[in-house]
Structure 1
Amino acid sequence: MSSFGEWTLLHGLPAFSYTMDQERDPRALWDPILDPPTRRHVVHLGNRRITLVADNFGRCDLFDEHTGLRWLTRGTGVSRIGELSTAGSTAERLFGPTFAVVRVADERVSLERTVLCPEGEQPWVLIRLWVRNLTGEPVRLALTEEWETRPADVRLISGPVPAADPGLELELVGGERTRSGRLAVTLDLETETIVEFRYGLLTEGTAGFEGAAGFEESLGKLVARLPRAHAVRAPEAEREIPWHAALLTGGACADGVLGGHTLDQGSCYSFRHGFNGAARDPLQHALPLVYTEPDLALSVLRNTCAWGSPDGDLPYALRPDKSPWTDLFRPSDQNLWTLWLGVEYLAATGDVRAFGEDVPYHPVHAAEAVPLGENLRRQFRFFADVVGRGEHGHVRMLNADWNDLAISMSGVPREEMIEHGESVLNSAMAAWVLPRYAALAERLGDHATGAEARELGEELRDLVAGEWNGRWFRRAYGPGAVVGEVDLWLEVQPWAILCGAASPVQARGLLERIEDTAAAGSPLGARVRWPAAPGADGAIWYAINMTLVWAAAAHAPELGWAWWRRMSLAAHAAAYPDVWEGTLSGPDAYLPPESVRPGRTWDLVALGVAMQAYPVANLHAHAQPLLAYLRLLGVEPDISGALRIGGGASFESRVLSVGAALHGGRPA
């Protein structure tokens, strides 16, 4: 059980009751490494525009990514009635999927304060105060609502700096509106009453959210859109699947520059270091949304395609002002993720029309928009012609593949690896993606591209099959060097199984070997390297453990379910009850049990970068368990581009229903 509190239900939804007295309990203190130690613990909630950062002191931050990476305010939002205040460690605090609740009381009155991100794209929060008279006699009370505007733009790497006020306002619903951040209301209270405020960018519209009906309607819509799950082999799925879906979509933001919605990694990358990257990440995060909110998945696909240039290239990341950031990494895998999300979306929805609608390129290129299908074709061409293949026939690495540090970890001189390095990982991933993209291209009438993609995928699959060394698949090639001959690099192994390069016997044996080596003694999943390397080189990455669970689904389902449970929030709370990250959200990777900070996350202090500086609200912590669960149920595009659905546990959303019986699924 977590030292910080326990799970409960509120409004029929999973919620966490935070019970720790963080001002007195020594376990509350933690070290962000790049910043001073703190007792503040946060969770990120949101709608499709605003991010609410609720903390254990009963206060809030607001973050908006509409035109850049901007903190609207930090550590504010307090309701007061006389001496009674919602700020502090003695209040009852609850965190829900899109709302935070604080309850306080004295001898005269009780106050329940809910801060809610309304469903939709509202750039403000609704504050609902439920005040009850405990005296039995009518009383007159002075109620105040206080917010302090503290805007800050997040600078690249260095962090937030003060910025101009974007026009934040506080409004008494049905009454006064102010820029001062403080409103007072006199209450003549007999038994109880509800008072509502709004705070945020109110000039962008508040229609449709008036009074108690708006609050209840928003909660009703939330209940309706969150998926439901039940798995005998993983009972925590019933709570965690809707929770992950809510926190994943709460990371979305309508993009006022490129259109669509961004769904970036968050955590230290956005909130501390000021970039949206890598391009592969929003594409990964959107994959499970295909089966819960496909319109948002498509919007993220279109948005990420709009990062790119007309030659089909995607920048590594976007700077705080949403301009392309290309001078750090130039990975060789990013186009594959775009093609994969397009494949997944079409297989699940059959929405061919979406691929005929224009998508812009980044404004810096001053290029004409093209249909989404053409954008994907150009990305395939860039992958095939510009990324290309190396001496051994594998996909070139450039200066990174999925692993941003693959070159520095390879033991091969950097410039030689950039010029001549080859990624078996990217070959294996491409061998799965390209035949399915071929089916998409053919469905759009482009048979020549389809035939080429299918042939390339088959060639790469055969090459990957040749990398089996009797224990595992090799990782990469450099000039005169083989990477992954004597040590196991986890990231390539699941893709080698998924693309068909491993025989069933090899696949089963490899999965069992991973359980006995990279996953041995690890309560949170398999390490990315074995024998374990120090720091991030030996960490437990959500993105890689997802593919591992997926690969096990067909060949060793008992391992797949066991590994999925290790990805759960429940597993982290059981293994590391005194560590806040992993309780409600988490980073992109955890340090293994043999590390100096087990259950926490990585840092690169020498470079001024640390996931530990902001170790929550990384969307991999929510997207990857969702997608892995669906893969355990057999939900995936097959090689013909059709959607395959199995069973073994249940999942139900507005667009997909999967029953526990095998082959029990159907699109809803």
Structure 2
Amino acid sequence: MNCNAGSVSAFGEWTRAEDLPAFAYTAGPRPWDPLLDPPSTTHRVHVGNRRITLVADTDGLCGIWDEHADCRWIAEHTGMSALTGLAAQPKILFGPTFVRHTTADDDVELVRTVLCPEGESPWVLIRVDITGRTALRRTLTEHWEVRPRLVDLEFGPPRDERPPDMPAIVLEEIGGPRVATGNGPLTLDKHVEAAPGETTTVWFRFGIDDGPVDTAVYANSLRKLRERLPRARSDLAPEAEIEIPWHAAMVTGAACVDGVLGGHTLDQGSAYSFRHGFNGAARDPLQHALPLVYCEPDLALSVLRNTCAWGSPDGDLPYALDGRKQPWTRLFRPSDQNLWALWLAAEYASATGDLDAFDQVVPYHPVHGADPVPLRENLRRQFRFFVDHIGLGEHGHVRILNADWNDLAIVESGVDREWMVEHGESVLNSAMAAWVLPVYAGLADPDTAAEARRLAADLRARVADEWNGRWFRRAYGTGPIGDDDLWLEVQPWAILCGACEPEQARDLLRTIDETCRAGSPLGARVRWPAPGPVWFSVNMTLIWAAARHDPGLAWDEWRRMSLHAHAAAYPDIWSGTVSGPDAYLPPESDRPGETWAMPDMGVAMQAYPVANLHSHAQPLLAYLRLLGVEPGTKGPLPGGTFHSMVR
């Protein structure tokens, strides 16, 4: 395995554990500034199963996050195994679904592995291996502090709000004593004796008790993990061998079975969930599930069903759900979200051929008191909402409302907000719809399919007319927007939807290379000449579009998107080492390689700049597109995995 990605990081190096990619953290405390909160020396890695998230800190402590009923912490910065007389600092290794701490002195070695079992278990399994170099007679203490906390739309200092209906949390020795509490400390002691060189293993479980547990779940989980994670190898991107399985584990480990709406959540995480307390925008879980269509299609379908259940019977999807899983519509009213649902549905149907899934009913959010409908009908209503309620503006482009993909598009346009909401049009939406709607048509009833294809053809022609000789315009306000500055997000979609002739597409890609990409080690900036951030979501589409006309540029852009590229360019910044935010600041900024912050609004990705699923899902999807995998081109990959990703 090529592990060269780790050699450039100041924090440690990539290695293998349990025949899986892992990161050995060797740096010790390193200060960083969250901007909204006091400076810290603790960094985090998030791993999980389909129910809980283990938040492993670089000081050896842990937290547990559960989004089953709401956005809640069960425990934060706690969880440790202590052996009398052993006080050395642990060596830390982060695996795809576990964290391992190794502590040793001249007399004894303690290896503690905290594992999120495969499946939907709402607890972690803790294995403690103790090896004495001399005769061993000591006391092992396992200690956790239960601190339940609800996180719900917090844009100031964190609140200490206890979640409703909090179940008792259990700490137990497997086959031994157990303690439980709803709030407070949990401690178990175990007397350990061993002959010199002998290893004693003690097992614990911490979390919500859902029945008896067998320690065989440890080996079984690791075996299943090795079997399900995709593998990749490419001479054009050696980093893929490490990063493809790692990204897949990070995406799937962020899922949580939803006890309110059904299916599984797969939200952005990072500052949005863990610091600010909301799941949004609706487009994001749909994006994150797209690569899962090819490796864990059951989870992709579950996320589609869950996100469609956010909506109302007229086909509208709210911008987000708050920390209590209630629709949140006060801030943004985006115009693109239905397109993402139609896209994921079509990609799933194309790859799996599972059309029966669309006949199964899906609910609407309980606030609407509406009867469930088949998923196919839910999607049809979303199409109708897009056509009839969002609609087109006077130039024939899709209306923008108060945002499209870019939440700040209206602010950045410089046009009066109220005028733009009423009259503004998004060329980005038009270009995306011109690609999505024909793909969705293959899943729709004949009348809807015909309408979708007619609308797509009209939008494709209108996008083609927005070519200004250098690039495509971005939007319409009181006049065209994007004649004098290049807005990257619209350009790949213009290529993908067919609004670009091949030579025109190659010219556009050269322009992007000479402007947005020039001198940027992490990939293309979203704006030029005034440089904007580097967004994973946009650069995924750039890689996809470039793969059709300039494969060399496409592979180079994927490598710039990699964890290796961030570690090489910014070795002293933790975000981007094993996980990242949704966007990086460009090299011209005052904090290059870090991420955005709007402290005056109390919002900052920098406040929690890791565990954003865009930093994992977009490299996965972009890698698939590099291999030519997209709707209508191939069926499911062999075995439902990425095993065929060899180039």
TM-score, normalised on structure 1? Answer: 0.93
Tell me what 1:197 maps to: 204
Tell me what 1:598 maps to: 592
After superposition, give the CA deviation of every residue in 1:277-300 in whole Å (9 maximum; x if it has no partner). 000000000000001100000000
Question: Which aligned pairs between 1:246-645 and structure 2 lie closer than 5 A?
Answer: 246-441=249-444, 446-479=445-478, 481-533=479-531, 538-638=532-632, 643=634
Tell me what 1:658 maps to: 644
Q: How many angstroms apart in 1 are the aligned matches of 2:229 and 2:221?
A: 12
Contact 1:263 1:300 in 2 (8 A): yes
Quick one: which amino acid aligns to residue 403 of structure 1?
N
Tell me what 2:64 maps to: 62
Question: Which aligned pairs between 1:87-166 and structure 2 lie closer than 5 A?
Answer: 90-135=89-134, 137=135, 139-158=136-155, 159-163=158-162, 166=167
Q: How many angstroms apart in 1 are the aligned matches of 2:20 and 2:159?
A: 34
Q: How many angstroms apart in 2 are the aligned matches of 1:476 and 1:389?
A: 12
Shift of 1:469: 0.5
Q: How many angstroms apart in 2 are the aligned matches of 1:168 and 1:12?
A: 32
Q: How many angstroms apart in 2 are the aligned matches of 1:205 and 1:491?
A: 49
Shift of 1:206: 4.1
Question: Structure 2 vs 1, CA of residues 488 and 653 (structure 1 numbering), >3 Å: closer, same or farther?
Answer: farther
From 22, 45, 57, the counterpart of 1:15 = 22
Shift of 1:657: 4.7
Quick one: which amino acid aligns to residue 201 of structure 2?
I
Q: How many angstroms apart in 2 are the aligned matches of 1:144 and 1:129?
A: 11
Tell me what 1:173 maps to: 174
Contact 2:581 2:595 in 1 (8 A): yes
The ranges of structure 1 where at least 4 consecutive aligned residues each deviate by more than 6 angstroms after the TM superposition are: none
Structure 1 residue ranges without an equivalent (≥5):
23-27, 646-650, 662-668
Q: How many angstroms apart in 1 are the aligned matches of 2:139 and 2:271?
A: 40
Tell me what 1:74 maps to: 76
- Structural RMSD (CA): 1.3
After superposition, give the CA deviation of every residue in 1:88-143 in whole Å (9 maximum; x if it has no partner). 7x3211000000000011222110000000000011000100111111x3x32211
- Paired residues in the alignment total 630
- SS of the residue 2:16 aligns to: strand
Question: Structure 2 vs 1, CA of residues 594 and 118 (structure 1 numbering), >3 Å: closer, same or farther?
Answer: same
Question: Structure 2 vs 1, CA of residues 660 and 47 (structure 1 numbering), >3 Å: closer, same or farther?
Answer: closer
Quick one: which amino acid aligns to residue 600 of structure 1?
E
Quick one: which amino acid aligns to residue 505 of structure 2?
A
Shift of 1:339: 0.1
Q: How many angstroms apart in 2 are the aligned matches of 1:519 and 1:602?
A: 19
Say whether 1:4 aligns with 2:11: yes
Question: Structure 2 vs 1, CA of residues 628 and 391 (structure 1 numbering), >3 Å: closer, same or farther?
Answer: same
After superposition, give the CA deviation of every residue in 1:390-448 in whole Å (9 maximum; x if it has no partner). 0000000000000000000001100000000000000000000001111111xxxx100
Quick one: which amino acid aligns to residue 178 of structure 2?
R
Question: Structure 2 vs 1, CA of residues 575 and 483 (structure 1 numbering), >3 Å: closer, same or farther?
Answer: same
Q: How many angstroms apart in 2 are the aligned matches of 1:148 and 1:422?
A: 52
Tell me what 2:4 maps to: none
Q: How many angstroms apart in 1 are the aligned matches of 2:414 and 2:235?
A: 45
- SS of the residue 2:544 aligns to: helix
Quick one: which amino acid aligns to residue 20 of structure 2?
L
Shift of 1:214: 1.9
TM-score, normalised on structure 2? Answer: 0.96
Quick one: which amino acid aligns to residue 260 of structure 2?
V
Shift of 1:643: 3.2
Contact 1:464 1:496 in 2 (8 A): yes
Quick one: which amino acid aligns to residue 226 of structure 1?
L
Shift of 1:21: 2.3
Tell me what 2:5 maps to: none
Contact 1:227 1:652 in 2 (8 A): no
Shift of 1:157: 2.6
Q: How many angstroms apart in 2 are the aligned matches of 1:225 and 1:652?
A: 12
Q: How many angstroms apart in 2 are the aligned matches of 1:263 and 1:274?
A: 14
Shift of 1:473: 0.3
- SS of the residue 1:328 aligns to: coil
Quick one: which amino acid aligns to residue 16 of structure 1?
F
After superposition, give the CA deviation of every residue in 1:23-51 in whole Å (9 maximum; x if it has no partner). xxxxx111000000000000100000000
Shift of 1:658: 2.8
- SS of the residue 2:145 aligns to: coil
Identity over aligned pairs, percent? 65
Contact 1:336 1:430 in 2 (8 A): yes
Contact 2:438 2:456 in 1 (8 A): yes
- SS of the residue 1:110 aligns to: strand
Contact 1:33 1:612 in 2 (8 A): yes
- SS of the residue 1:495 aligns to: helix
Contact 2:232 2:645 in 1 (8 A): no
- SS of the residue 1:440 aligns to: coil
From 34, 39, 46, the counterpart of 1:44 = 46
Contact 2:33 2:40 in 1 (8 A): yes
Tell me what 1:187 maps to: 192
Shift of 1:166: 3.3
Quick one: which amino acid aligns to residue 166 of structure 1?
P
Shift of 1:160: 4.2
Q: How many angstroms apart in 1 are the aligned matches of 2:247 and 2:212?
A: 27
After superposition, give the CA deviation of every residue in 1:596-628 in whole Å (9 maximum; x if it has no partner). 000000001111100000000000000000000
Q: How many angstroms apart in 1 are the aligned matches of 2:617 and 2:555?
A: 17
After superposition, give the CA deviation of every residue in 1:355-377 in whole Å (9 maximum; x if it has no partner). 00000000000000000000000
Contact 1:71 1:152 in 2 (8 A): yes
- SS of the residue 2:77 aligns to: strand
- SS of the residue 1:181 aligns to: strand
Contact 1:160 1:272 in 2 (8 A): no
Q: How many angstroms apart in 2 are the aligned matches of 1:215 and 1:29?
A: 34
Q: How many angstroms apart in 2 are the aligned matches of 1:455 and 1:357?
A: 28
- SS of the residue 1:348 aligns to: helix
- SS of the residue 1:599 aligns to: coil
Q: How many angstroms apart in 2 are the aligned matches of 1:355 and 1:643?
A: 20
Contact 1:151 1:166 in 2 (8 A): no
Quick one: which amino acid aligns to residue 80 of structure 1?
A
Q: How many angstroms apart in 2 are the aligned matches of 1:540 and 1:147?
A: 39
Q: How many angstroms apart in 2 are the aligned matches of 1:105 and 1:95?
A: 18
Question: Structure 2 vs 1, CA of residues 29 and 305 (structure 1 numbering), >3 Å: closer, same or farther?
Answer: same
Contact 1:227 1:653 in 2 (8 A): no
Contact 2:579 2:610 in 1 (8 A): yes
